[in-house]
Structure 1
Amino acid sequence: MSTPRFLSLPPGVVEVQIETPQGSFAALEASPLSGVIERLPALLVPGLTGSKEDFLAIMQTLAAANRRVTAIDMRGQYETQGPDDPTAYTCPALGNDVDVIAMAIGEGGPVHLVGHSFGGLVAREAVIDGRTKFASFTLMSSGPSGIVGRREQAGRAIMLELPEFGLEHVWITRYEPEALSGGVPDEIVSFLRKRLFANNPTGLATMAEQVLDQPDRTDELRQIEVPTLVLYGEHDDGWPPEVQAEMAERLGAEAVVVPGAVHSPAVEAPETTAAALTRFWNAAETRKPTF
């Protein structure tokens, strides 16, 4: 579970609802304090048990480079409603949502796309399906196929225990002890509980199954002509750093290792992460467009 550093909205960041043919999506939107928007917008997609708040620490810095930056709650996550239908939470279905959201915030033009962890697998679907021409794609702490390691165990616990025992059990046995042992402040612990309980249980269980069972689509992604960045913490406990480095090599993509970070670089090293994204986005915009 990603743990935001803080919950108050920085200057220039506001809560919005993105209206699409697929429904309404809760989002945070950051705009330059100068009011001048000169560069292409960006869309940030969170991980399995995360939300738009996981990007709060980097949004103002990203927007300062004269672009609009939007972070969303996916379907069934936190403040975005979702149905009690497992088919609505497959990677292709959620990827379709990313397509229509990108079209809405980009007003039909190209958008920089970032997917964190499970959000990377979802965003990858949107890139591969070719419906939207993205300005760039960043896989942040995300791998080529199903998640492994310690976070694989957490995913299996959600998939197996949630349908039988409910969210209260998952919170008490999994996430609350982890937060308390990590010294997370009380207000953040309260937020994490509120966020978990706001998730659609069917959606959460299905997405947990999806993050475990995704096939390797690296070769398909490589066929898409989009500038790609693989960014991950040097101590990632989801997909091992060497797995993500190998994926970047297969993609012919740039790889950025964030010193000191684990699985949530936007939270654990926001300045380094924001600088890497801004540099990559600016460079991508100088290339000959393929959209």
Structure 2
Amino acid sequence: MSRPPSFVPPPGARAYRLRTARGEFAVVDAPVAAGVEARGTVLLLPGFTGSKEDFNPLHRPLAARGYRTVAVDGRGQFESDGPEHDESAYAQEELARDVLAQAEALGTPLHLLGHSLGGQIARAAVLLDHSPFLSLTLVASGPAQISPSQQQRVKLLRDALEVMPMAAVWEAIQAMEPPEETDTGAEVDAGLDDREDLRRRWLGNKPAQLLATGRQLCLEPDRVDELAAVPLPFHVLSGALDDTWPVSLLDDMARRLNARRTVVAGAEHSPNCEQPSATARALAGFWDTTGPGASRDSAGAV
């Protein structure tokens, strides 16, 4: 589970509901820093059990590089509404079409970034229609299903959701996690109770969304060859210690996509939270080469 250092948007960022042709979505929207030349807009999609707050550490450093960043809760995720029990509403194509509607509402072209599950939803959106986007960045997001050990964790979660209310599942998760994962004393920011914020986020998720997207993570086919045929520049970024998809598998995916590849030292599955400065530098460096007029070759593997 991702653990943002704070659930409070950074100074200058605005939390609101983005109106689209497919409904409203909760976003955190951070403008370009004052006095900095605008270089583009980025749409940020969080991962499974995550939220828009997972990108809070990136907003300020990316604003300083000239990028407006808009992080969004997907349908049925934290502060975005969705059906409680209808899993069909969370089919991957439905979520991908939500992303296209978000892009249309923000104005195009823009850069698209997806973390983990968000990367696979972003990929599906690009395969439906790549025209709204300048580039695609996949953060800790692999070519197909998650690793067997992670599939077991997701299966346990899905089994619990089938028979227990959300609050009881949360308590079970806390009881099962190692002490170093539940002891969040070092992550309290500005007096906030980090654990209570995480609980509030968990309870904001719709059970059907977690069931449907958990199944997607365990069954996702390899669509890398389809994606490679799309005329966009790609960036594959991950932590050096990620085990949700083996790092070697992400290396191979980057080669298949002719993508820029970044491995962030000291980071695991959430480099945006764990090593935000290094992650922001790598992201901005890629986007600097992929604005209007930049060639795909200039953004390729390095």
| TM-score normalized by the length of structure 2 | 0.90
Matched AA of 1:91: Q
- SS at 1:44's partner residue? strand
Q: Is the 8 A contact 1:7 1:53 kept in 2?
A: yes
In structure 1, C-alpha distance between the alignment counterparts of 2:256 and 2:175, rounded to whole Å? 38
Partner of 1:255: 261
- SS at 2:133's partner residue? coil
In structure 2, C-alpha distance between the alignment counterparts of 1:176 and 1:114, rounded to whole Å? 33
State whether structure 2 residue 162 is matched by structure 1 residue 155.
no
- SS at 1:68's partner residue? strand
Matched AA of 1:154: R
In structure 2, C-alpha distance between the alignment counterparts of 1:270 and 1:148, rounded to whole Å? 25
Partner of 1:85: 86
In structure 2, C-alpha distance between the alignment counterparts of 1:184 and 1:153, rounded to whole Å? 25
- SS at 1:3's partner residue? coil
In structure 2, C-alpha distance between the alignment counterparts of 1:55 and 1:193, rounded to whole Å? 18
Partner of 2:118: 119
Aligned-residue Cα RMSD (Å) equals 1.7
Among 268, 273, 287, which residue is 2:294 paired with? Answer: 287
In structure 1, C-alpha distance between the alignment counterparts of 2:56 and 2:205, rounded to whole Å? 19
In structure 2, C-alpha distance between the alignment counterparts of 1:8 and 1:2, rounded to whole Å? 15
Matched AA of 1:246: D
Contiguous gaps of at least 5 residues in structure 2:
297-302
Matched AA of 1:63: A
Among 180, 204, 208, which residue is 1:202 paired with? Answer: 208
* Deviation for aligned residue 1:88: 1.3
Residue pairs, 1:90-109, within 5 angstroms: 90-105=91-106, 107=107, 109=108
* Deviation for aligned residue 1:180: 4.8
* Deviation for aligned residue 1:13: 1.2
1:234-269: CA deviations, max 9, x gaps? 000200101111111111111100001000000000
State whether structure 2 residue 35 is matched by structure 1 residue 22.
no
Residue pairs, 1:141-290, within 5 angstroms: 141-175=140-174, 177-178=176-177, 180-182=179-181, 183-185=183-185, 187-285=193-291, 286-288=293-295
In structure 2, C-alpha distance between the alignment counterparts of 1:7 and 1:180, rounded to whole Å? 22
Partner of 1:38: 38
- SS at 2:150's partner residue? helix
Partner of 2:134: 135
In structure 1, C-alpha distance between the alignment counterparts of 2:285 and 2:265, rounded to whole Å? 17
Q: Is the 8 A contact 1:238 1:263 kept in 2?
A: yes
Higher mean alpha-carbon deviation, 26-35 vs 210-219, is at: 26-35
Q: Is the 8 A contact 1:55 1:266 kept in 2?
A: yes
Higher mean alpha-carbon deviation, 159-168 vs 247-256, is at: 159-168
Contiguous gaps of at least 5 residues in structure 1:
none
Matched AA of 2:207: P
* Deviation for aligned residue 1:67: 2.4
- SS at 2:154's partner residue? helix
Higher mean alpha-carbon deviation, 123-132 vs 274-283, is at: 123-132
Q: Is the 8 A contact 1:45 1:74 kept in 2?
A: yes
* Deviation for aligned residue 1:176: 5.5
* Deviation for aligned residue 1:166: 2.6
Matched AA of 2:44: L
Matched AA of 2:141: S
